[in-house]
Amino acid sequence: MVAFAKQKSAVTTGASLPVLLALAAAAAFLVVGSISSSIFAQQTVAGLAQGAIFGSLALALVLIYRATEVINFAQGELAMATTYIAYQLTLWGLSYWLSFFLTLLIAFVLGAVVQVVFIRPIQHSVIAVVIVTVGMFILIDGLVTWKWGADLKFMKAPFGNTVYHAGGVAFSRQDIGVLLVSILSVILLWVLFQFTKLGLAMRAAALRPAAAALVGVRVNWMLAIGWGLAAVLGAVAGLMTEPTQFLQPTMMQAILLYAFAAAVLGGLESPAGAVIGGLALGVFLNLIGQYVGFATSELRLPIAFAVLLIVLLIKPTGLFGRRQVRRV
Amino acid sequence: MAALLELDGVTARYGPVHALHGVSLSVDEGEIAAVLGANGAGKTTTLRAISGSVRRDGELRFAGKRLARLGPDAVARLGVAHVPEGRGTFAELTVWENLRLGAYTRRGSKDDFARIQTYFPWLGERRHQQAGTLSGGEQQMLALARAFMQRPRLLLLDEPSLGLAPLLVTEIFRIVRELNEREGLTVLVVEQNAHIALQAARTAYVLEVGRVALAGPSAELQEHESIRRSYLGY
């Protein structure tokens, strides 16, 4: 009885054995490759840094998808706008990291306010929410361009331009910093969801709003907090994108597409899947760009979606997705 | 004894469909009361009206407070635990997480967990199991345990017998009565299974198309031959 129950719960965590084996094999391949080639190692680290950004934005999409069953098309633009806010704060003379943390706070409030003002009144209709997020995309884009202009802006480099050398391999301090900040924010969020009362209530509100309300959870607040946290993740992604893409209103548009691909790759409902999907995509694209002749930067996006298509053909629910079982 | 819960002319509807046409009932502190009736009589809606899961009008008072404008989360925080139809357990969460959610509105629930384990000894060893993998009877018990963790003054139970084997139904009702006697929990239970509900309850209400058709001590309702035949079906 107990053994049977254990088996069942192992299945519902989403990641199947073949997927885990494939991921382990890929990780082993990266380690061996990095040991044998310094260029491979550099590209892997740079890919992980890029992938961590995809992963955090993908996680933001998944957070909202789980609670609202909608892709927030404005997630990338919201991230871009909050990055401009950080830029403005540094213009006013605040240090980079003070601006960074203040921006996360502002992003949280902004995300929650967006949910309360724009989403809550129409949340019963999925299609209306989708259209509102598309509208917000355009609105934010317009507002930012009007306020700051469409030309490139630069912030002070948060991690400097130092390059570390280890055994003939050059790691840029920036890549390491981006990777650490992104992964750290993901871990903090995971701790919040897994180990705190608030996190538990948020999960309950997303899973079964009606039942959550019956135990006293303020479901609407939880949804607003969820949007706030998603905006914080987006702000991290935006701020970590800025050192390589610089500030411009379009800076997050391609990244949103990669993040979407990463989220779907991970199964759309799985936070771990989104992050792993993002990392995998980042590394894969970087290595392909390095070693495959025709994979020029213009082809990165099509290649990303080709990979997504192939994975979905083999495993339609994504790497960590659960098959939907509905009782009728 | 003072009434803990009082409904007076409560109406409720789902969109254009009226489900309650003025239900009046009262539940005394410390008693078990039952709401009986056929399918579609408005039993479930009555509980939903109390907990605020459906829009309702009329006079609803719980412990002297008016409920009519409160949402489900606010009613829960006043001390009403509603175990809905289909149990409302979070299948995706573990047993332990379900219990923690029960205690969401409170602090310091460690003692309560020890206490609830005296009623459901198996909860401790299976606290890390996903609730969705429990059997139907276990899920019903988990739902009861979670409601207990809320430390409610009033427990609303919707068809606890639904889909369970007769032996399990007896077991569930035995525990409900124990919770009532030992912990002083006031219970309002909705049941199709009139026989077992009348045995547990002191007072009973029979609903018919959204109105209270009959009310009285359950012993009297049980005796009444014509009532038994026309309303209770046994």
Q: In angstroms, rounded to a whole number, what is the distance separating the alpha carbons of residues B229 and B168?
A: 26
Using CA atoms, how far apart are residues A185 and A237, in angstroms rounded to an integer? 10
Architecture of domain A2-314: Orthogonal Bundle (1.10)
Taking the C-alpha atoms of residue B217 and residue B33, their distance in angstroms, rounded to an integer, is: 9
Please name the amino acid found at residue B175. Answer: I
Residue B146 with chain A: CB contacts under 8 Å:
215
- Encode pLDDT of A1-18 as tens digits: 333 333 333 334 456 788
Tens of pLDDT along A53-82? 999 999 999 999 988 889 999 999 999 999
The pLDDT, as a whole number, for residue B233 is 62
Nearest to B32 by CA among B187, B153, B170: B187
Is the pLDDT confidence value at A224 over 90?
Answer: yes
> Which stretches of A124-205 are assigned E, i.e. beta strand?
163-166, 169-172
Inter-chain touch B105–A218, beta carbons under 8 Å: no
Half-sphere exposure of B123 (CA within 13 A, CB side): 26
Range with lowest mean pLDDT among A126-135, A230-239, A296-305, B59-68: A296-305
Domain range annotation of chain A: 2-314
- pLDDT attached to residue B234: 57
State whether A213 and B72 contact (CB < 8 Å). Answer: yes
Q: How far is CA B205 from CA B42, B188, B215, in A?
A: 12, 10, 4
Chain A positions touching B53 (Cβ under 8 A) are 210, 213-214
Output the pLDDT for position A220.
Answer: 94
CB B187 within 8 A of CB B176: yes
Q: Which chain A residues have a beta carbon less than 8 Å from that of B110?
A: none
Name the closest residue on chain B to residue A197, using Cα atoms: B104
* A210/B51 touch (CB, cutoff 8 Å), yes or no: no
Mean pLDDT, residues A264-283 taken together: 92
Closest to B201 (Cα-Cα) out of B184, B229, B221: B221
Shortest CA gap A197–chain B (Å):
7
State whether A214 and B104 contact (CB < 8 Å): no
Hunting for tokens 């609830």 — which residue is that? B116
Confidence of residue A297 (pLDDT cuts 50, 70, 90): confident
Pairing of strands B186-191, B32-37: parallel
Residue identified by tokens 């790759």 is: A265
Residue A154 CA to residue B65 CA, distance in Å, equals: 59
Q: What mean pLDDT is reported for chain A?
A: 89
| Cα B183 to Cα A260, B96, B153, B201, distances in angstroms | 52, 22, 10, 16
B-chain residue closest to A194, CA distance: B97
- Spans in chain B with pLDDT lower than 70: 1, 108, 225-234
Q: What is the ipTM of this complex?
A: 0.91
Q: Which of A198, A214, A222 to mutate to test the interface with B (most CBs of B within 10 A)?
A: A214
- The residue among A10 and A194 whose pLDDT is bigger is A194
- Indicate the pairing of strand B17-28 with strand B3-14: antiparallel
Q: Is residue B50 within 8 Å of B7, Cβ to Cβ?
A: yes
Average pLDDT over every residue of A160-171: 81
H and E: helices and strands count for chain B: 10, 10
Confidence check: pLDDT of A295 > 80: no
Give the per-residue pLDDT at B232.
61
For residue B13, what are the β-bridge partners?
B18
Query: Which pLDDT score is estimated for A6?
Result: 37
- Contacts A201 to B, Cβ<8 Å: 101, 104
Two tokens, residue A321: 């997705």
- SS3 (DSSP) at B60: strand
Q: What is the C-alpha separation between B175 and B144, in angstroms, rounded?
A: 9
Give the pLDDT of residue A214: 95
A-B CB pairs within 8 A amount to 74
Q: What is the pLDDT of residue A12?
A: 43
Q: What is the pLDDT of residue A328?
A: 44
**Mean predicted confidence (pLDDT) in A296-305:** 85
Q: What are the φ and ψ backbone dihedral angles of A69, each rounded to 5 degrees?
A: 60, 35
Tell me, rounded to whole angstroms, the distance of Cα A167 from its chain centroid. 32
Contacts of A289 (CB under 8 A, 6+ apart): A43, A295, A296, A297, A300
